[in-house]
Amino acid sequence: MRIIAITSGDYGERHVANINKHKPENWTIVTWQAPTVYPLVIDYPEEFLPASLPESDLILSFGEHRAIAELIPEISIMTSAKSVIASVDNEAWLPRGLARQLRGWLEKLSAVCVTPKPLCSLTATDYLESRYKRVNYLDDSISEFAKYFGQPDIDLTIDPETRSITSSIVNIDAVCGCARHVSDGLQGQSVDQAEEKSGLLHHHFPCLASMSKDVDFGDTLMHVSGNLLKDNISKQVKPFINTQYISPGKRSD
């Protein structure tokens, strides 16, 4: 699969570094550093683009400026890419209205665009748009990407006698690499502390999603991201956690 990644700062560069380190051998990824300064209105997107970009199957947009979304349709035309993942880890970088417009612009070009919010909610079939809404999509290139990078899937091996995690394998990493960091930190941990530990490891990585309260979730996207990962851990350790029940005593005569 041929991928072009759009970056404009440390956020995108960290994502690309993790993808390059762990991608399948038959993937190629080219990075284009987008401009960081734009006018209030972009009349001619081509003025902000290079003379040429390589043909691609998938566009990854990790831009840290809302104007970058206006360049993506032209990049789709230049590269012949028909699949786009535009991350929404910060509402200021890709507001919900602009994300909706971007999907519409690309649909007119017969391209599929997904806007996962946060980015680590992306699966091979759907993604989060708000607290109670997952959006389904059909696209082979995006699904192929999400088999390796997206909503974290960590496979734990637990010793039932010691109730500790003996091994931890990452099936699907977060695009930023957070899931691998959490996986490494969970090995040897007791099941009683695993969920809390995963949350701390996620936060200290650190997660790259916004710490500002998002109106679509009533929470920060960092917390939403952390909960997605903690839920994956929780369902695996839950059968091994001893739950104590307290029976009320009898009243004395």
The pLDDT, as a whole number, for residue 118 is 98
Residue 247 or 141, more confident: 141
The pLDDT, as a whole number, for residue 243 is 66
The pLDDT, as a whole number, for residue 37 is 87
The pLDDT, as a whole number, for residue 81 is 98
pLDDT in tens, 210-224: 999 999 999 999 999
The pLDDT, as a whole number, for residue 185 is 96
Mean per-residue pLDDT over the chain, rounded = 94
pLDDT in tens, 101-121: 999 999 999 999 999 999 999
Residue 20 has pLDDT above 60, yes or no: yes
The pLDDT, as a whole number, for residue 80 is 97
CATH architecture of 2-146: 3-Layer(aba) Sandwich (3.40)
Q: What CA–CA distance (Å, rounded) separates 212 from 218?
A: 10
The pLDDT, as a whole number, for residue 206 is 86
Domain ranges of the chain: 2-146, 153-239
- In total, the chain counts a number of residues equal to 253
Structure tokens at 216: 């679509």
- Write a three-state SS string for the chain: CEEEEEECCHHHHHHHHHHHHHCCCCCEEEEEECCCCCCCCCCCHHHHCCCCCCCCCEEEEECCCHHHHHHHHHHHHHHCCCEEEECCCCCCCCCHHHHHHHHHHHHHCCCEEECCCCHHHCCCCEEEEECCEEEECCCHHHHHHHCCECCCEEEEEEECCCCEEEEEEEEEECCCCHHHHHHHHHCCCEHHHHHHHHHHHHHHCCCCCCCCEECCCCEEHHHHHHHHHHHHHHHHHHHHCCCCCCCCCCCCC
pLDDT in tens, 171-191: 999 999 999 999 999 999 999
pLDDT in tens, 39-75: 888 888 888 999 999 999 999 999 999 999 999 999 9
The pLDDT, as a whole number, for residue 2 is 98
Contacts of 111 (CB under 8 A, 6+ apart): 76, 81, 82, 83, 84
- Strand bridging mode 2-7 / 28-33: parallel
Region 2-22: what's the mean pLDDT?
A: 97
Region 82-94: what's the mean pLDDT?
A: 97
pLDDT band per the 50, 70, 90 thresholds, residue 229: very high
If 0-12 CB within 10 Å is exposed, 13-18 middle and 19+ buried, where does residue 246 land?
exposed
pLDDT in tens, 242-251: 765 555 655 5
Contacts of 204 (CB under 8 A, 6+ apart): none
CB atoms within 10 A of CB 62: 27
